[in-house]
């Protein structure tokens, strides 16, 4: 059972409203080129394509990524400590399906949610398992459980579909404008300035809104992870480790740590801001995972056996 403080509740409400506003903005940006091409029918058709495409493809990209990474399914006897953590996190999150943990033999430090709350799981890399302690991994797993709990995979798939369709529709408008150039040069048609503005700014605006949505869902997942673990310091420590690893990788590649780009061009919020927000959340010892497990949380988890790759055929079919 998770503990909901007033501050946490206000933050959750704020993030939820921001998500609705951003999704409404994406729909509005998409509706404009749809209306210019086919009027009201264009709006209905474009939004219908987005909804259908998001529901059909929300789980496909993740499974393709898993297949390309040579991922395998970790069984309970191979990672008992991690599954004990996941059992508790799933129970607190209200997820009724048994947890699934996937393993990718990559040295990168990464974890991501796969599928939805009804048939999904969490994938972790070898680098992450070797680098983080069990306490830090608990925060990371809780973050990914939050993504499953709130259907973030489907939300982001829908946002990505809106951005792609906006780009395609504006490309059609660009081709239409090229066909109108002879008439404009001959003076038989006035230059459609409103159409030019849509073609110029709609794809960029849609992309910026999609990035803002991604950052919003990351903040929400951080907050929800703390509610699930009762331990903000665990996730904050994991984020600090990931940031140091990323910095060393960039320094090795470029000879120095290059300056970060603008925050509004990033898919994830700045790590410093995420840690600051986490440290501002009060730990809830009555719900802390440390009280439910006897494992050494200051050491990496014990993985008794690494699974082999499951192959592309496995990822084609849905979990029943």
What whole-number distance in Å separates Cα of residue 81 and Cα of residue 221?
Answer: 22
Beta-sheet pairing, 72-74 with 101-104: antiparallel
Joined tokens for residue 279: 């440290």
Is 4 annotated as catalytic? Answer: no
* Edge-to-edge strands, sheet with 72-74: 72-74, 101-104, 121-125, 111-114
| Residue for token pair 């995420």 | 274
* Beta bridge partner(s), residue 121: 114
| Annotated active-site residue in 108, 144, 273, 302 | 144
What whole-number distance in Å separates Cα of residue 139 and Cα of residue 297?
Answer: 11
- Is residue 290 within 8 A of residue 58, CB to CB? The reply is no
> Among 129, 109, 114, 108, which residue's Cα sits nearest to residue 65?
114
- CA separation (Å) from 83 to 102, 140, 145? 11, 14, 13
Residues annotated as catalytic are: 144
């Amino acid at each position: 059972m998770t503990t909901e403080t007033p501050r946490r509740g206000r933050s959750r409400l704020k993030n939820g409203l921001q998500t609705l506003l951003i999704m409404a903005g994406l729909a509005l940006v998409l509706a404009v080129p749809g209306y210019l091409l086919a009027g009201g029918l264009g709006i209905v058709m474009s939004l219908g394509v987005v909804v259908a495409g998001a529901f059909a493809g929300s789980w496909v990209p993740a499974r393709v990524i898993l297949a390309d990474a040579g991922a395998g399914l970790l069984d309970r006897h191979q990672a008992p400590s991690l599954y004990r953590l996941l059992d508790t996190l799933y129970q607190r999150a209200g997820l009724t399906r048994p947890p699934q943990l996937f393993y990718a033999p990559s040295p990168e430090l990464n974890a991501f949610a796969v599928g939805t709350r009804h048939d999904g799981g969490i994938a972790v890399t070898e680098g992450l398992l070797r680098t983080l302690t069990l306490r830090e991994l608990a925060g990371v797993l809780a973050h990914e459980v939050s993504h499953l709990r709130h259907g973030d995979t489907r939300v982001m798939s829908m946002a990505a579909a809106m951005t792609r369709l906006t780009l395609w529709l504006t490309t059609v408008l660009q081709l239409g404008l090229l066909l109108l150039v002879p008439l404009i040069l001959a003076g038989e048609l006035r230059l459609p300035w409103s159409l030019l503005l849509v073609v110029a700014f709609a794809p960029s605006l849609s992309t910026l809104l999609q990035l803002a949505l991604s950052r919003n869902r990351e903040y929400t997942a951080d907050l929800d992870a703390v509610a699930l673990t009762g331990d903000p310091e665990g996730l904050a420590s994991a984020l600090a480790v990931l940031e140091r690893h990323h910095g060393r990788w960039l320094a090795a590649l470029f000879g120095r740590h290059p300056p970060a780009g603008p925050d509004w061009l990033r898919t994830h919020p700045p790590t410093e801001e995420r840690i600051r927000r986490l440290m501002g959340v009060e730990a809830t010892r009555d719900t802390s995972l440390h009280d439910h497990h006897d494992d050494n949380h200051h050491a990496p988890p014990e993985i008794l056996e690494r699974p082999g790759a499951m192959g592309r055929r496995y990822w084609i079919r849905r979990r029943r």
